[in-house]
Chains A and B, each alone.
Chain A
Amino acid sequence: MKPVATIEGRAIPLGLKNLDTDVIIPAHWLKTITRDGLGKGAFETLRAEPGNILDDPEYAGAPILIAGDNFGCGSSREHAAWALADLGIAAVIAPSFSDIFSGNAFKNGILTVALPQEAVDRLLEVARDHPVTVDLDSQTVTTPFQDRFAFAIDPFRKHCLSEGLDEIGLTLASSAAIGAFERMEGRPWLVPSASPANVGLNGTIA
């Protein structure tokens, strides 16, 4: 993954509350078997409306999205994060995020910045005509007008994002501990006792 440092540029002042993952990427886009190209389907229903802000040339290529409360609620589809990444979004600012979405965003190098409603309201206003800066190192969002909003981030996530670390690689370094856990006494039921019922090979009915 690419290391994340400072994200600077236009921010799309979308602002809507409870934007669920079906809105971020509708279900019919979930049929792909790769991760690329989902930007085309991002916010499809919102973008069907003429004059929508997402297609406003003013915000073309904007690396930041500003949204309302509970962003990314609904299904666990990681396609929502892939779609945003494919659009070029590197940070989303909102008063709150669904847990699953922020986890998925993090794993795809997208920074989710939770700020109080007043701060988000102010940023929505500024973003209409001016750039916004999200700085991971100092954990702040700033504007050209001396606004400075501090945000919290889990130190582990910060470390991984700023170093561009692959989480699986990190975990595989703990293989010995995982092996020791697996060999621990007292969990004889861990291994399933049989294969699933009536399953034939190659799709035939057994």
Chain B
Amino acid sequence: MASRPRTLYEKIWDAHVVERREDGTCLLYIDRHLVHEVTSPQAFEGLRVAGRRVRRPELTLAVPDHNVPTTARLGADGTPLPIADPESAAQLAALTRNTAEFGIPYIPATAPAQGIVHVVGPEQGFSLPGATVVCGDSHTAAHGGIGALAFGIGTSEVEHVLATQTLLLAGSKTMEVRVEGDLGPGITAKDLILHIIGRIGTAGGTGHVIEYRGRVFEEMSVEGRLTVCNMSIEGGARAGLIAPDETVFAWLEGRPMAPAGEAWDAALAWWRTLATDPGARFDKSVVIDAAEVEPTVTWGTSPEDVAGIGGHVPDPDSFADPAKQAAAAKSLAYMGLAPGTPLSDIPVENVFIGSCTNSRIEDLRAAAAVLDGRTKAPGVKWAIAVPGSGLVKRQAEAEGLDRIFTAAGFEWREPGCSACLAMNPDKVPAGERCASTSNRNFVGRQGPGARTHLMSPAMAAAAAVTGRLTDVRALMAS
């Protein structure tokens, strides 16, 4: 075996190579495959047309999330309620049919364990450290938070994985994002990843797999790590990784699909070898000072358009790159913002707490801590809290968080992607702003003409309370 020091990424990659082609591309074994209703129908259609079977159905897990409504799914008599949108209903029906026909484990929309794929995978112990995890969805990078090499794939690749349990891939370059020092009080994983994307830009990680390193990550909860890795794709990277450690192992042990008994012990022995070796080289390295990270929000229509909450909407002319100047001017026109406006003066009419970035129990707790004993501002017309899975929802209800949300004027919904993307009934009206805990502030992402400001759950809760973008630390002090 190679004695050369290797990065975490290289170790996982090397352990999955089935065949190495002359040109360096590898046939890589895929341990875990997650499937949802939007990017899979054409893959199953392809298999059917070619008369192919699924090689290892038990290594795939299907769950609908993108266009399920987040309102009640069962009627008073316990029967599933119909889905109003015919196209959504057709995609859900296709997933039910396809998983049955090909023998794939399936969590239907009405099951208690249903949720967003990237919440469900780790939660069920399906996604594992050191595993290769893929899904027809770019935020698959999230699973890197438990130390899986996880990345989004297209539908042709979904079909390829179903048929062969492999992918033909060229290796990525490696990039280290090293965070030095500690985050200040009240600063969360979301603030950190928004800050990082602001530093490296949306193309900063293109062609690379990022490994996040530093004490901050060692001390971070699993939920926080999933949030950080989730947004690696916003920094252009194929995947994000954080070395799995005892925090992750303790979090995973005993989950329904996680290995048990001897298999667990064997897995653990291997997982403990997965850290990047001392002296291993990264192709690119960025150092971030944790002390500089403020509660961070976006002001534009690209996830790199970030600023600390104490800042102002920038003047497009302040950017050195003429292309960036033009993009910023366009962003501000879409967002209806004037240069120089203090960020804390920006009013919001909508608040969305949810998405695969920030819908886990810790996120809901953080938002509820801010909302406890408070109500949403009169100017906030619509505020929803959407748990990432049915199990998160149950846990939150057991802790009484649902009552805090509803007392504060939030709607408490069923799990799903919800207002993260405008594919289901949860949309932000044109021209209105949304304080959102999701991951993309693209034009029209939350609905045609909708204006998105990305932030952490605590910051979104603070915006709900004051009706404008707000430094949550002020509310925490009082």
Q: Using a CB–CB distance below 8 Å, which chain A residues touch chain B?
A: 17-18, 20, 22-23, 26-28, 30-35, 45, 68-70, 73-78, 81, 96, 98-100, 103-104, 107-108, 154-156, 167-168, 170-172, 174-175, 177-178, 181-182, 186, 188-200, 202-206
Say yes or no: A171 contacts B166, CB within 8 Å: yes
A195 with B421: CB separation less than 8 A: no
User: Could you list 19 examples of A-B contacts with CB < 8 Å?
Assistant: A31-B90, A76-B137, A78-B156, A99-B207, A100-B154, A167-B168, A172-B52, A174-B18, A174-B166, A182-B29, A182-B56, A192-B58, A196-B124, A197-B256, A198-B113, A203-B80, A203-B96, A205-B74, A206-B111
For A74, what are the chain B residues with a Cβ–Cβ distance below 8 Å?
A: 138, 440, 442
**Interface of B with A (CB < 8 Å)?**
18-19, 21, 23, 25, 27, 29, 31, 38-39, 41-42, 45, 50, 52, 55-56, 58-59, 61, 66-67, 74, 78, 80, 85, 87-88, 90-91, 94, 96, 105-113, 120, 124-126, 128, 136-138, 152-157, 159-160, 163-166, 168, 170, 202-203, 206-207, 236, 238, 256-260, 262-264, 266-267, 270, 302, 323, 327, 391, 421-423, 440, 442-445
* Given A31-B423, A168-B163, A100 contacting B153 (CB threshold 8 A): yes
Residue of B50, B80, B444 with highest tally of chain A CB at under 10 A: B444
Contact A177-B444, Cβ < 8 Å, known A18-B202, A78-B155, A196-B257? no
Expressed in whole angstroms, the Cα–Cα distance for A89 and B280 within the complex equals 43
The reply to whether A156 and B206 contact each other, CB–CB distance below 8 Å, is no
Find out whether the CB atom of B257 lies under 8 angstroms from the CB atom of A192: yes
Contacts of A35 in B (CB 8 A): 42, 45
* Contact of B206 with A96 in the complex, beta carbons under 8 Å: yes
- Bound-state Cα–Cα, A28 to B168, Å: 30
Q: Is the CB of A195 within 8 A of B157?
A: no
Q: Verify B257–A205 contact, CB threshold 8 A.
A: no
Known pairs A31-B87, A70-B203 / 19 extra A-B pairs, C-beta < 8 Å: A18-B327, A27-B423, A31-B91, A33-B91, A76-B39, A76-B152, A76-B153, A77-B39, A154-B25, A168-B159, A171-B166, A171-B168, A174-B164, A178-B55, A186-B270, A193-B263, A194-B256, A195-B256, A197-B256
- CA of A64 to CA of B307, assembled, Å: 38
B203 neighbours in A (Cβ, 8 Å): 69-70, 73, 96
Q: Which residues of B contact A73 (CB under 8 A)?
A: 202-203, 236
> Do A103 and B442 form a contact, CB below 8 Å, given A69-B323, A76-B136, A197-B124?
no
- Nearest A residue to B323 by beta-carbon distance? A17
> Per a CB cutoff under 8 Å, which of A32, A69, A181, A199 touches B111?
A199
Q: In the assembly, what is the distance between CA of A70 and CA of B88, in Å?
A: 31
Closest to A20 in B: B442
Whether the pair A107, B154 counts as a contact (CB closer than 8 A) is yes
The answer to whether A199 touches B106, judged by C-beta atoms less than 8 angstroms apart, is yes
Cross-interface CB contact of B156 among A104, A170, A197, cutoff 8 Å: A104
User: Are A32 and B87 in contact (CB-based, < 8 A)?
Assistant: yes
Contact A27/B110 with A73-B202, A107-B156, A203-B80 known, Cβ cut-off 8 Å: no
Contact of B31 among A190, A197, A198 (CB under 8 A): A190
A31 contacts which chain B residues (CB < 8 A)?
A: 38, 67, 85, 87-88, 90-91, 423
CB-CB under 8 A for A189 and B302, given A31-B88, A156-B23, A171-B164: no
By a CB distance below 8 angstroms, the chain A residues around B259 are: 188-189, 193
Q: Is the CB of B266 within 8 A of A188?
A: yes
**A199 CB contacts on chain B under 8 angstroms:** 105-108, 111, 113
Distance from B14 Cβ to chain A, minimum over Cβ atoms (Å): 13
On chain A, the residues within 8 Å of B443 by CB distance are 22-23, 45
Cβ distance A187 to chain B, nearest Cβ, rounded Å: 8
Beyond A78-B155, A104-B154, A107-B157, whether A33 also contacts B90 by CB under 8 A is yes
For B88, the chain A residues whose CB sits under 8 A away are 31
| Cβ–Cβ contact A108 & B170, under 8 A | no
User: Closest approach, in angstroms, between the C-beta of B121 and any C-beta of chain A?
Assistant: 10
CA distance A193 to B253 in the complex (A): 12
Are A181 and B87 within 8 A (Cβ)? no
Q: How far is the CB of B443 from chain A (nearest CB, A)?
A: 7
A200 near B138 with CB under 8 A, answer no
Is B266 a contact of A189 with CB atoms below 8 Å?
A: yes
Inter-subunit contact A81/B170 (CB<8 Å): no
How far in angstroms is the closest Cβ of chain B from A168? 5
Closest to B446 in A: A27
User: Residues of B contacting A32 with CB < 8 Å?
Assistant: 41, 87
Closest to A31 in B: B87
Alpha-carbon distance between A98 and B327 when the two chains are bound, in angstroms:
18
